[in-house]
Amino acid sequence: MTDRAFTRVERRPGHAPRRAVSADPLYPVSPAMPTAPHSPPVPAPVATSSAHAPIDVSVVMPCLNEQDTLAACIDSARDGLRRLGARGEVVVADNGSTDRSVEIARDHGARVVHVRERGYGSAYRGGFAAARGRTIVMGDSDDTYDFSKIEALVAELDRGADLVLGSRLRGDISPGAMPWLHRYVGNPALSAMLNLIYRTRISDTHSGFRAFRREALERLDLRTTGMEFASEMLIAAARAGWRIREVPIAYRSRGGESKLRTFRDGWRHLRLLLLYSPRHLFTWPGGLMVALGLLLLAALVRGPIVVLGRFVDFHVMFVGSLLATLGTQVLTLGLFATSWKAPPRWFTLERGLVAGGLLLAAGAAGNLAILVHWLREGFAGPLVAVRLAILALTLIVMGAQVLFSSFYLDLLRAMQAPARPAVEEDEPARAEGDDA
């Protein structure tokens, strides 16, 4: 992004348009901030090389009414850049502050970008888009992180890491900085779930102090807008095979009002973990339900059994039927969720129709056997083939689900087919009438 992207044209009645620009090319005027005629001078940049030289490190901070802590964070980040010996910038992604945060950020030498879409993730994505550094360090502007220590994170990147996190749980947490519920319940539980599902080994998945290369970040396609943005980044990085490392950091008590809502934001993290892993949400639970349901049906179709001294009859078959039919539905949802880009290679409509047809045929055969038996009895007496009827009806419902789901999956495949197939020509064709 060029400096011109952060200039703005001011129009005054009776005057020609006047362009407002910053005195320092490293810290241009933000697009929505008027230029104060008597504002304090902008601090000197952290490096003195040519203003057109590439920036090494961008420190990005989201901000929403952080006037009490923002100055300390910016000064700490500039100190960290000096210690690192890198040409850098501090980018404050303002998310609609109504206090003096924007003014303070400009006075302390930060670039300010205004992100209209509200949310923690939105602010970060806007800040990342505006950052010009080849390396990006991110951290909250509530003075909980020590930005002067960014050298430890950048050093791990130089050693080959793709994403570096500052681990609060492996470092030093000031008394009262992290609520008991977050430190010993929420954070460990959500971290364990993320590590289990995505096969990572991260001690503090919700740390907001991170470093990565800007070029690599652009390939992750991050989209969430709220606090779950922190989890989305880790999920996307794990899926992409990034080398994720941690360094211990100090974590201090925040200044100002916390924007975190324990249960609301905790649920948003949990929801994201599940939605981004449809196999854990749908496929495996659905497969388990189908297997258990069919096992119960098969065990009881010939008659009651005794388990641990207790008499088990066809009443349990209803439970097995419920599990089998519900599991089939959940399994198909898993196939839909994992096939939004492309159906699995093993799937074809014909195979789905054969599988569904076999289930339907098996169920119909069971019902036919019941009918034949009743005919042989001359319709005498009540029809009491309950067990076989439960199994047969269950198989029919499962078969119908598989049949219609197969058509839907094939419809997804047809919608994803390229409009124009790729064509390669071995040799240029000679036009008619050309000389031999």
What does pLDDT average to in each consecutive run of 10 residues of the chain (436 residues)? 37 38 36 38 43 83 94 96 94 94 95 94 94 95 94 95 95 89 89 92 93 91 90 93 95 81 86 89 94 94 85 89 96 87 80 94 92 78 79 95 92 72 63 58
Residue 436 inside a domain? The answer is no
- Angstrom distance (rounded) from CA 405 to CA 352: 8
Max CA distance (Å), the chain: 105
Residue 254 inside a domain? The answer is yes
> Residue 233's Cα: distance from chain center in Å?
6
Q: Which of 244, 275, 306 is the last residue of a domain?
A: 275
Residue 422 inside a domain? The answer is no
Same domain, 108 and 158: yes
pLDDT at 435: 58
| Tokens representing residue 322 in the block | 């419920």
pLDDT at 429: 59
Same domain, 77 and 95: yes
Q: Flag whether the pTM goes above 0.85.
A: no
Same domain, 321 and 252: no
pLDDT at 161: 95
Residue 433 inside a domain? The answer is no
Q: What torsion do the CA atoms of 128, 245, 56, 67 make, to the nearest 10 degrees? A: 50
- Angstrom distance (rounded) from CA 303 to CA 208: 60
- Find all residues with CB under 8 Å of 174, minimum gap 6, and list them: 250, 251, 252, 253
Same domain, 171 and 151: yes
Same domain, 384 and 288: yes
Q: Which of 247, 275, 303 is the last residue of a domain?
A: 275
Same domain, 299 and 246: no
- Angstrom distance (rounded) from CA 6 to CA 114: 10
- Angstrom distance (rounded) from CA 130 to CA 59: 11
Residue 431 inside a domain? The answer is no
CATH number of the domain to which 84 belongs: 3.90.550.10
Domain range spanning residue 393?
278-415
Same domain, 186 and 235: yes
pLDDT at 418: 63
- Angstrom distance (rounded) from CA 136 to CA 301: 63
DSSP state of 274: H
C-alpha closest to that of 355 among 289, 400, 322 = 400
Same domain, 299 and 183: no
C-alpha closest to that of 120 among 137, 97, 140, 145 = 140
Residue 420 inside a domain? The answer is no
Residue 155 inside a domain? The answer is yes
Give the count of domains, the chain: 2
Strand partners, 292: none
Same domain, 224 and 316: no
Question: Hunting for tokens 């029809």 — which residue is that?
Answer: 383
* Distances in whole angstroms, Cα of residue 14 to Cα of each of 11, 18, 21, 113: 9, 12, 21, 29
Same domain, 242 and 325: no
- Angstrom distance (rounded) from CA 61 to CA 91: 6
DSSP state of 279: I
Q: Which of 254, 275, 296 is the last residue of a domain?
A: 275
* Local structure of 38: helix, strand or coil: coil
Same domain, 359 and 398: yes
Q: What torsion do the CA atoms of 187, 191, 194, 196 make, to the nearest 10 degrees? A: -140
pLDDT at 262: 82
Same domain, 241 and 343: no
* Distances in whole angstroms, Cα of residue 250 to Cα of each of 33, 82, 168, 174: 34, 20, 6, 8
Three-class SS of 82-111: HHHCCCEEEEEEECCCCCCHHHHHHHCCCE
Residue 71 inside a domain? The answer is yes
